[in-house]
Amino acid sequence: AQSVTQLGSHVSVSEGALVLLRCNYSSSVPPYLFWYVQYPNQGLQLLLKYTSAATLVKGINGFEAEFKKSETSFHLTKPSAHMSDAAEYFCAVSDQRNNDMRFGAGTRLTVKP
């Protein structure tokens, strides 16, 4: 069965610093990978997704992620954190068989002034 593991339930960075949120996947077939963001009291919204085209994927709000098959990773990065980036981030995996998406436990990002 496919799954994702997010390393670090909490990440704290200073405003302007690099954001790195880690996600490793496990899948017996080529995966499709997603990053979603959840702001307080809201539903999840898509940041970006990897669907087997380019391995470096750019998303909204300056975020990007790189699919690395050799490392089974799909880490999310942003060069310079903004206060508005404070939220919970979820990595998710699905595959060509269906849209039964499996989510990681989430990483809460705090941005310090």
In this structure, which amino acid lies at residue 41?
A: N
CB of 25 to another protein, least distance (A): 13
Other Cβ atoms closer than 10 A to 91: 29
Binding of residue 98 to another protein (CB under 8 A)? yes
Of 48, 59, 51, the C-alpha closest to 94 is 51
Binding of residue 99 to another protein (CB under 8 A)? yes
Using the minimum distance from each CB to another protein, give the nearer residue, 81 or 104: 104
CA 113 to chain centre: 23
- Beta bridge partner(s), residue 83: none
The 5-44 site mask, x for binding another protein (CB under 8 A), equals: ---------------------------x-x-x----xxxx
Q: Work out whether the CA dihedral 46, 78, 69, 53 comes out positive or negative.
A: positive
Judged by CB under 8 A, the residue of 74, 91, 106, 107 near another protein is 106
Alpha helices in the chain (DSSP H): none
Q: Which of residues 36-95 bind another protein (CB under 8 A)?
A: 36, 41-46, 49, 51, 90, 94-95
Residues forming the site for another protein (CB under 8 A): 32, 34, 36, 41-46, 49, 51, 90, 94-106
